[in-house]
Structure 1
């Protein structure tokens, strides 16, 4: 899609909001968002779909608990991600959902990734949930309340929502023994920084990238005992990283392609996911 501003600005503007001011979302913005979701669904190759749920009927002044991820207040519209119970490609699902999140951000709409377990009754009437489907991801959408509730402030502080790992913890040269130098990596410093700023479940930031020649190998460094169950939240996070890297590289005119190469030498506990091959 064509953004109204730099994708780098959009990524930096995106923050998670659980407290909204109750205002109705601009109809033109909602229409553009709905059209983009329809485009994503049409182009999607995995067994999953995305739905914009409007007018939930909830009292905007009363916080509503959604599944396992806490209370949301002031939002009456939601982005709902639906996936087939047999579909295992959480990485592509997260990649696509983040594209929708960034579209909303560009339209001036605030969001919040909520991953976990959602009661079927939360959205089933609106999304026509089928027997073989479940909902792994939801985002409320709306306009952020200027003074968030104490609950939201405490939660963001407890998980360090605004903190990001340093470059030397995330990005490496040839193997994980040599940290990547932000000042000498060249044009790809910006796409890598956009990966670093990405949202992740409980802010675990599981992405690790090894640069080797023209290749940028993406690995998943799992948090033990976290985020798999019915839906792999940390693979989902890798999809967000892939989205940020690809979109910002494209904006800079950095040509490349995704391949599955098997990666390169890396710690045993890291899981290889994909490789970006930079084209000269």
Structure 2
């Protein structure tokens, strides 16, 4: 695995559907990278919901209140309107950073499209359901075979072509499968088969994501993550399982390696 270059590696979390765990995953990736010694910046493009920004603001408040040293990336939230401000903010956050993590709105957004073209790694979280699969592809209602890529998949395809034309770089598109506990096994298998078919057609990687655990929602008010074990006191089995999921997800992302080991 290569080392992080001078230019930051840009990781964009993008999904035009809400409720997929996008912002929670983005925050955990940013904190995990800081935990292994990288310099990380974060940009929230969703000026309405501002989930990532508020998550990190809560984290900063917890550090000040408790006196604990917590890994906190430099972060900012875009106003959703000004291209000049977007350009200036990206440049400012990128300066001196190893990674820039960008969280986009759960809707079509012009700045999300620009961010997608800038991405080195583009992560699309989705739940194991055909409701979420519909974002990237359509299936036959009887055979569940993929009939065609969706508009969003074509949008990412265009972004990859534009990036290659601009600087010769490639965008590593990763579809991250977050597990939903109430989805029955046969449906999960059908979704998995459809994803495999579509991945071969449009060229994305599929990796395991995070489970649907109440603990993630409980961590938000304090801005904590599954990496902040000492803040939990005694960790239960759910915490241990969630930390293992995070380890597996970070390994599967295959991001450039900073000097320090993960979770040292």
When normalised by structure 1's length, the TM-score is 0.27
Which one has more relative contact order, counting CA pairs under 8 Å at least 6 apart?
2
Q: Which has the higher helix share?
A: 2
When normalised by structure 2's length, the TM-score is 0.28
